[in-house]
Structure 1
Amino acid sequence: MAQQEAMTLKRFQEKFHSDDACREHLFQIRWPNGFCCPKCEHDAFYFLESRKLYQCTRCKHQASVTAGTIMHKSHTPLLTWFWAIFLVAHDKRGVSAVFLSRELEISYPTAWLMLHKIRKAMGDRDAHYQLAGLVELDDAFFGAPTEGGKRGRGTEQTPVLAAVSLDRKGAPQYVKMKVIPNVKGKTLVDFARHHIKPGATISSDAYSSYRKLAEEGYDHQPLEFNVKENPDHLKWLHTMISNAKAFIGGTYHGLASKHLQSYLDEFCFRTNRRRFEGQLFNRLLTACVSTDTITYQKLTS
């Protein structure tokens, strides 16, 4: 993605002071070269003020700047949406629905739904990218264990596959995390197919399920995990997992396992863009504009 404009609080307040200003910005994102009818591609339109729609002068199709975005059919004002995206983008710890409800003076259910829609945009955006080069891969377990319960593989906690790509100097680049049903070979292979480019070198521990990766064309390099003999083995991956647990536990208390994936998506989205300080609002807004909405019913069913 091209370099984005840095968005400070002062700049945000100057630029987005009304719903109309937000709508004009969405218009520029959707039609950067001028209006183009989604139905017939004609370039002339009337703006229907009462309905906030753009009507094509040729075919009379009515287009909305929020169609195909997380804001589609929302009764929440556009300015409130922009503020929510700005607040999410500018607090690296993440924001809770309680915080958003209080700061934007909206109901808790509305704030909760908005945050889940924003996290969906984060996950959908990162789904376009695959890890390449040297990739560290391991499973982890999230959530508090039952009292006296087993830890690690075989636990009642939620299993998650985590992967991080490293650059030539061994520093972390991008991270992926996915809630999985189990740590069987088929599950690991499905994860690799979706999130790791063919031909990548995968470093993992020597757990038997990871052997399936070599059969899929990956250069698999298993290594027995021993802190004394191999202190740097999967070091960055374990750091990312630890950071993800701290991120989720520090802001989102009592997280239900059914929504864990959306919070992992938020953590990965932020981590993968950690070098773009000040630009996260525009990058997140772009993701929100490029993602279909999701309903409260679907999230709670």
Structure 2
Amino acid sequence: MEKRYKEISFFDFQKQYKTQEDCEKKLFEIRWPQGFVCPVCGHQKYYLISGRKLYQCVSCKHQTSLTAGTVMHRSRTPLLFWFWTIYLVSTDKRGISALGLSKKLGLSYWKAWTMLHKIRRAMGDRDSTYQLAGIVEIDDAFFGTSQKAKSKRSKRGRGTSKTVVLVEVSLYDNAVGFAKMTVVGSKVDSETIDQVIKADIKGVQTVKTDGLPAYAVVSKSGHTHQQEIVKGKNAHEVLKWTHMLISNAKSFLLGTFHRMGKKHLQSYLDEFCYRFNRRKWESQLFDRLITACTISRAICFAELTQ
């Protein structure tokens, strides 16, 4: 049965989640909507070890916590802070920076940074389960910021550090559907395109691209390929929606985060796409995102920084 997400306003959020206990109740409902089920043996009766906040199965004695296996696993940050962070991320289309979050909630910068990246990982995990259908536009774009040349001997003055991103968006009767953005490195080749479309496009669809020779692999993959050579200012007309998404994504990144390296670019793009893909359900975004954070796999700080 498909989960029905609830709408929540700012004042409703404040009323419903005043305490740690309120947040624990919500997580319990998400993890076990029909009542507790032991993750090991499936038994439904348990004891609550209140001092350690653990649920112990009556049958096999396995102990589990509310946050076990979630992005909040082993976090020492109170759930109330997690809930506020998830609410702030889900309700502001501009996103929130680690510095901004640390100031709002009185957290250290690195604690705020870690929480935000764990939430972005949940966003990416959630969208990775969906595939594109209908007419699919694909285009590539360079993301990056200018930087000073590393060598003082360089005569080029200022150079650029750019990363290539493959952007895909589905269309139904000229209405925008779902979008995906994938960091692919320093160039686009046919092998990379083939891997991305096999992962992201469902079955056989109509795919629109520009005239880049590497896109010839689209038809070899069995899709109907509409390829058109784009000249200068006509690009936004031929691939209208991918160009709109690229422009909006760059404004989102530069406006809120100012600059980021290639290492974490994918996670910021995952956040942008997650919010864009749910633009029709803005009032449900908190409920959707808290659910995504609960069912997404646990990830530690070392994995985020390696």
Q: Does 1:180 align with 2:175?
A: no
Match of 1:273 in 2: 278
What aligned pairs does 1:145-160 form with structure 2 within 5 A after superposition? Answer: 145=146, 156-160=161-165
Deviation digits for residues 58-110 of structure 1 (CA, Å, limit 9, x no counterpart) = 21111211111100000000111011100111111000111111111111000
Match of 2:291 in 1: 286
CA distance in 2, matches of 1:55, 1:44: 9
CA distance in 1, matches of 2:190, 2:231: 23
What aligned pairs does 1:151-230 form with structure 2 within 5 A after superposition? Answer: 156-168=161-173, 170-181=174-185, 182-226=187-231
TM-aligned CA distance change 1:66 to 1:229, over 3 Å? closer
Secondary structure in structure 1 of the residue aligned to 2:260: coil
Deviation digits for residues 246-295 of structure 1 (CA, Å, limit 9, x no counterpart) = 00000002212210000000000000000112110001111101111222
TM-aligned CA distance change 1:43 to 1:189, over 3 Å? same
Q: What is the percent sequence identity of the aligned residues? A: 49
User: Which is worse superposed, 248-257 or 223-232?
Assistant: 223-232
CA distance in 2, matches of 1:202, 1:18: 50
User: Which is worse superposed, 13-22 or 86-95?
Assistant: 13-22
Number of aligned positions between the proteins: 297
CA distance in 2, matches of 1:177, 1:149: 31
User: Which is worse superposed, 111-120 or 175-184?
Assistant: 175-184
Native 8 Å contact 1:137 1:202 kept in 2: yes
Native 8 Å contact 2:236 2:243 kept in 1: no
CA distance in 2, matches of 1:200, 1:275: 24
Secondary structure in structure 1 of the residue aligned to 2:115: helix
Q: Which runs of 5+ in 2 are unaligned?
A: 149-155
Match of 1:260 in 2: 265
Deviation digits for residues 191-239 of structure 1 (CA, Å, limit 9, x no counterpart) = 0011111211110011110001111111111001135767621011100
Match of 1:26 in 2: 27
CA distance in 1, matches of 2:231, 2:240: 12
CA distance in 1, matches of 2:236, 2:259: 33
CA distance in 2, matches of 1:230, 1:110: 42
CA distance in 2, matches of 1:197, 1:137: 14
Match of 2:75 in 1: 74
Q: Which runs of 5+ in 1 are unaligned?
A: none
Native 8 Å contact 1:5 1:282 kept in 2: yes
Deviation, structure 1 residue 156: 4.7
Secondary structure in structure 1 of the residue aligned to 2:140: strand
Match of 1:143 in 2: 144
**Structure showing the higher helix proportion among its residues:** 2
Deviation, structure 1 residue 144: 2.2
Match of 2:152 in 1: none
Q: CA RMSD in A?
A: 1.8
**Structure showing the higher strand proportion among its residues:** 2
Match of 1:37 in 2: 38
Secondary structure in structure 2 of the residue aligned to 1:144: strand
CA distance in 1, matches of 2:270, 2:157: 28
Native 8 Å contact 1:150 1:156 kept in 2: no
TM-aligned CA distance change 1:195 to 1:146, over 3 Å? same
Native 8 Å contact 1:149 1:156 kept in 2: no
Secondary structure in structure 2 of the residue aligned to 1:92: coil
Native 8 Å contact 2:253 2:259 kept in 1: no
CA distance in 2, matches of 1:180, 1:127: 16
Deviation, structure 1 residue 149: 9.6
Secondary structure in structure 2 of the residue aligned to 1:7: coil
User: Which is worse superposed, 7-16 or 123-132?
Assistant: 7-16
TM-aligned CA distance change 1:230 to 1:53, over 3 Å? closer
